Structure 1
Amino acid sequence: MPSTSTSSEPLRFTLLGPVRVWRGDRELTLGPPQRKAVLATLLLRADQVVTASELVDAVWGESAPASVHGVVQTHVSMLRSVLEPERPRRGQASVLRSVGNGYSLAVGSAGYDLREFEKTLELARQHREEGNARDAVEWYAKALAMWQGEPLSAIPGPGAVIERARLSEIVLGVQEERLELMVALGRHTAAVTELAALTSAHPVRERLRALHMKALSRSGRRADALQVYTDTRRVMVDELGIEPGAELRELHHRLLAVDEPRQQPVAPPPAQPSRRPIVPFMDEPLPAPISPAQLPADVADFTGRTALVKRLTAMLTPRTHRTAPPRALVAGIGGVGKTALAVHAAHQVRQHYPDGQLYVDLRGAGPDAADPLNVLSAFLRAFGVSPNSTPADLDERAAMYRSVLASRRVLVVLDDAADAAQIQHLLPGSATCGVLVTSRRRLPEMQWDEQAELEGMSREEALTLFSRTIGADRAGQEPAAVAEVVDACGRLPLALRITAAKLVDRPQWTVRSMADKLARERGRLSELRVGSLEVEATFHLGYGQLDATSARAFRLMSLPEGPGLSLPAAAALVGEPEPSAEPVVERLVDLNMVASPSPDHYAYHDLLRLFARQRAAQTDSKQDRIDAMVRLGDHYLGTAATAGWLIQAPAWPKERFCRRPYAGGVELDDLKSAFAWFEDQQPALLASARQFLTDPDLPSDYVVDLITFLELYLANGTHFGEIGQIGELAVRDAERTGDLRVEAWGRRKVGEAHLRRFQLPEAQDQLSRSIAAAEKAGDAVALATAMDLLGSVEFRMGDGEQSLAHLEQALAVAHDAGDVVREAYVLGTIGRTQSERGEFELAMAACEKSRELHEQLGNETGLARTLFMMGLVYQRFRRLVESIDPLEESLAVCLGIEQSFGEGHNLVMLSRGYLADGRAEQAAAAASRARELGEAIGDAHMHAMAVAELGKALHALGKHELGDEHLHSAQTLLTELNSPQAAAVSALLNKK
């Protein structure tokens, strides 16, 4: 819903972490990273004038495009609209002011975390100098609490690395000052814990090492202190070729001589002033160090398995002699407690893996097992790798994953693996990592350092777990009945917890009554079971005690495929508003019938899901089950439509973007919330699309709109192969149902996947058939889209006449249908094709009109594409140097929206422009980066063209032999792709 905040509310700025701005309690949307870099530069010199040249140096440096001053003005203008939304268009700015040839950010009395940090730090040092060490420690802690991660996180620009490193050095120095006081005050144990982490992150920082040794020694751990010195010396000699400094050597000598007393706290030394003031900032940013912590919460009352926990934690504890990551497998039947054990053991060792803990439920026992390709994508995103930079190929994506983990200490927990094939690409290669796998199978084809076949708990453990849950007094009153219940549950943790939860929920029941109910339930079970007899009996009993509303929710929430449900999705399934549905769903969580892995997210144990689906088939009519799934589809589609509009056309009336109103869905406020929703729900949306296409009772045309909106989020990423597979499912469904609209969409998706892989004949065939189906269906939007794509295919195949014919048809159809978005895209493609016919004016006119429409729509993705097309037009007419400006503008937009596909293609063309302008080194750098991007996102044609341009640039630099190698390689690659560009490279080689 729209914000109610006004510009009268105070602004608050932060940069000790991500660069953010709040107005009151509402965070403002600042835009792309370079815009944030402009703000950060101004913020670090708040209330001072920063010239435009200084801004360019800080944000772009030597890589600044020719049009950079115009880009700076645009960023400043957009920041002003965010910081002062109620300022008249031409009114005087009061926050971000123009002063001479520069700008000044008036922070004044506004909240600003860096200034607050400096003031708090000054107070801490003042208390220290006055000898008030205890108060000083508290003020140091307050100052450090203001840091929310790496300063200037993810801010690009040639100055950011310097300032980021400087600010990081400052905070590290402050941590040292605080820890030195803690050691002096005798708080050795607390200091040891923090120092262990800091010395691990900064292994050659001698001041930290000395403090660590002192804290260990004064805690009575002299041997550990000596080991710290040994480790420090080895690292410094091996990595730096130097011995430790005098302070460390002297401390080591005293420890050897037992001359480091466990003394009483002493007055701390005076603070050392910071060597540099905390002021202005100014290279390409280092990747932000991200440490994912994905482990589910540990079981609060975990009981038993003591010996096995010790074995697992001992095996997963890092050892220096290892050359491969330790691997452990916990196997066993459903409900035996594999996940609880694995999560508990993982929590015991997580301190040994400070770079992160990855967790995934692979759903191997169910029908919708997780795809390793998608799991790898999620793992890479957890470490900050953009989805648009991950390779499409499974082997290549796995190689990137191993590379990311190579220098990190990460624990990987793979829960409920189906088989070895599902996990083989998910295993890290570095000995610094650890792996813990659970499965119902023993997976004998893989090697394990520790392997456990989990069975039911021992009777003593089971009694303890059950008694602890229902209360020791209650259990003690009926020991015989407790023993019967434990045996009836097969001593399986899942069954025990469900049964105990039922007794807790029914305090008037006796344990005897529960034992009798379980005995009767076991006696009347059918042969169709979801698990063991004991688990089945528990499920029946637990389900039988649910009220009608909870039981219905339990059944309907099990119907969708996929990893889990959000609260809004669950509410849609049961047909209730969120406030009404939430207590019902949370009651299922309380009774252990449904899990809640994170707030407002729910998942089933696979056995409970199967049990719930069986109950749904027996209890709910077929139409009720269909209606529930349709409500879920409406929820997904309605929210996706809103999110897609915010991404694609936020400046356009929503009703003009969405072809029809969509029932259901949640409200989203801005672009950030749209991306966040897609990021969170993407696995569920893809699973839903497959289910609606493979279940003949569900309306498959729902998928057409859902994936169309989802692709606006995926935008030229690495999912085109997966979308193509869904397209194939759509074609098969259409062949069964005769739904021409679904067929048109499915064939278009398959054709587009072929186009991305440069399989042009296959793409042409599928798109032609898509056009035929769209014409028969009378679907103008689908017809225009397929014609546009077919025109692009024919252009790549060298048939400019046929390409233009299809594009002009697409433009007419889109215009008549009122599809302004498609019209803008088609105009850009027409501009490129007109250039092939020698019509420069017509080509540029089409591109200018396309640009105008994309700007009206607020569509940065489309704007980047059209600017790229303008660069192509210039190059087609040999005006290579003139192509640089629009290509650099397009590149800047692509970088701002993190679109690797567009970035790579712009760099290929910029390499040509730079070479024509005599900038061979810059041309080589652009082509080299484009080659890397082509490899990363699986775009074979981008990669091949980049190799060709790199070959040309190397020749210009006088590296002729290396240049020929690249040209020959490009010729081979382009020939394999059947690209018309192969002939141009061959001709170039023949001239040499």
Structure 2
Amino acid sequence: MRFSVLGPLSVQDGAATRPIGSPTARRLLAVLLLQPNQPVTTDRLKSALWGARPPATAGASLMNHVARLRRTLAEEGAAESRILTVAGGYAVRVRDGELDAEEFTGALQAARAAYIGRDWTAVRRETGKALELWRGDPLPELADVEEAQPQVELFADARWQALEWRMEAELGLGRHHGLAPELTGLIAAQPLREAFHRQLMLVLHRTDRRAEALDVYLRLRRTLVNELGVEPGALMQEAHREVLTGGAAPVARETPPAAAAPDAAAAADAGGKADTASSSGAGPAGGPGPGAPGPAGRTIPRQLPPDVPDFTGRDAQVESLYAALGGTPAAVGPAVGGSRALSVCVVSGAGGIGKTTLAVHVAHRLAPAFPDGQLRADLHGGGGTPADPGDVLAKFLRALGVRAEDLPVDFEEREALYRSTVAGQRLLILLDNVRDAAQVRSLLPGTGTCAVLITSRSALPGLDGAHRLTLGVLTDGEATELFTRVVGSGPAGDEPDAVAEVLKVCAGLPLAVRIAASRLVCQPGWTVSTLAGRLRDENRLLDELHVEDRAVRTSFAVGFNALVPEDADAFAMLGLWNGADITPPAVAALLAVAPHRAQRSLDALSRAHLVQARPSDRYALHDLLHVYAAERADQGHSAQQRADAVRRLTTWYLHTCAAAGGHLRPLPLRLDLPPVDFDGPPLTFRDRDAALAWLETERPNLLAVTEQAGRAELFELAWKLPVSLLSFYDLRKHWTDWLHTYKIGLDATRRLGDQRGESRILNGLGIAHHDLNRNEEALDYYREALTVRRASGDRLAQTATLGNIGNVLQNLGRNDEAFATYDEAIAISREIGDRTTEANSLNNIAFARAGLAQLPEAAESFQQAAEILGSIGSSASQAVALGNLGDIRLQLGDQQAAVAILSQALELHRQFGNVYVEATVLLNLGNALCHHGQTPEGRDHWQQALELLERIGDPRAERLRARLETLTPQTRAIRNLRA
């Protein structure tokens, strides 16, 4: 199979093209191919497919698109799909030689090695191979996907580099004739890329068109001066002088200085692993060792700390930094003034995330490409006294050979001397632990021959033009590999379950993994199980993750101590919340502050990497930071303050759930809500879709807040929360959450002695078990609810429970008991004048009649129920009654009436988003349309039903798919597909 991204997306299998039909599928595959064989998170895929605000159904839709793409890319006899499900997302499996971008990069790396060695024939050959792969602008499918643009632009930049090198090879081989028109076209496309202007000058000069060559220079100079305020670069000016004097114009000199080891540099570019087993005194990749004399006897600084021998994972991050700092041709940035801009990379992240370890590792890989040396300084920006930039300048200048007595006292003079000293040199500068952009601006060279790698807890937004990489936690595989490399494969392999337990506690934080592994190694009597046991107690967890001068708590404290009091208080209070994530309005309730103040604190905590900013304005704490935050809350706030914060947050969730549920219920909630006595008002929703989207997004937090209310003995909130969610649970069939939260609520009502609350919870548990076809359990819950409701005198509630009991009795085949129960419910409804419960009871009777094949009687009851529900404006319930009525009419042979009634029901259902019922109506409408033989309209309705059933994982989908696959245009009689 052949995947092509250097142009519009294309997939070929041999000589045949695999059509990737829909735009969404093309975009999905394109995003995956940007990271072949690497995980792409579902959040990133949702953002690419639907933008910053994906719909509530994005997760299910993504699964459907992945399933279709798998079928499209399926290979006969292949054991493994091309689209793999991995932790947190998906990956596309691409073998060697199947992706044009990888082939392009390989050819470009070979071209660079030949370029360094002035092998112009090889440069021409390899760039030709690379350029032949291009078919147009790369991946136009991703033109509006903002996060994909840097990588797409990187492809485009690499193509310009290949064109530049191919032209240089033509010049080096003396093939000047015929190049001028092509170079003129390249200049039109890239008017500020000086290399093309310089090459055109040389072509014109060497073909006796001297005046035109000079005109090229003058036009470029005019453009640069007018638009950028800079003169042409040194190489352009040198070529200009050659043309003026009529001398032999030079071939390009944009190669590493003679001090570089070309073979080692090329090897490092090709694979990043040049030979390090050089003679005594040699540095990385065979370069000069520390203190080795450089050009003119100058000592070359080699200030990098040692690389860790067990560096693990971070492959994508290593390659990203390696490319951005000049390790691959694709990283060559836009030329201004004849040289590329200074490459500056900022690695940011939380304490203990491995920023310095990664930076040092990458710097050692890059060392061969910077033969004039590597400078390094710790700026102590994360804690203690930050380093003074003037002192760092002095340190660097001394390392570069400037005598102490020649160091300027004036800061600006010292900065100017530093930039003059490094100008034109190939230096790599590592600035570790930076506080802010102001601390490093004076340490940046003024020449693009150098590169700067920065680590900081901040992303340094004030540093213009920097390539930024935010470091996250290790993947499960990377954490396991790191732990195993430290402790050895024997101990780790003998106790895989214990290893998994330890790593779960460490939650991917490299510092925590290393400390835990080091403790195990240094305690000969311990097993991995011993270590896991010591890490189980959350109250002592941070005490255990401490060895000598390294401690997770200390690393976190550096960032915490730098916060202003308001933000420190916000961080501590976040430790009280046990949900998956949190939004600014919820934080406002937790802190009892205005929403804008909560947002300000979250922004500050995000910049300090004490919270993780997620899409859709959500924030989360790393597991270990959550433990640390809870410690700070215990130390800085009284028990009453902590309890009040949890109560405020839980109350906020209850009011917001009630507001969301109001868009899903046909009737009022009839639930007394506790007052809101804090800033940060609960949310409201403009419509049903917005309410459903919020409920789906918050679903893990709704479970967490109910659990937390129960543990905190906020019993009133603990039972009212699940009751407020009944319509949501019933609509979306989240049975596991439903049963779990309702059992918490049942315990709470019984501890309060609240009979009305207990009956509502019991009734809701009965509904859930009824939905799951656990009829005997449902009957027990319903009867217990009825007993409580009779004791409390709640007549209206009794009718609902009686109807539910009748439904279960009918399922159990106890029809006489069922009809008696329905009759009692109708009598109470009419007695108290409640038309809704009367209609519900009629619906129940209709179902029972239908189950006994008493179809005319069932149709009459459904008709009466639909009329009552329509008259009181209960459209959602009316839609259900009409759907049932249409099905009965079809069974009675009245196709025309059935189609009309089911079409009306479908229109109503689509207003309310009940996917389960909508799919059922679509099935039945398809049956009605095909009652006398297959019709295109019927097939279309079945296909729509199939898509909905697949989305919710309904078992009917498999049967419907199998039936659709057997249908042919010649099929005349089709049996009904029953819901």
* Fold equivalence (TM over 0.5): no
TM-score, length basis structure 2 = 0.44
TM-score, length basis structure 1 = 0.44
Q: Which has the higher contact order (CA 8 A, sep 6+)?
A: 1
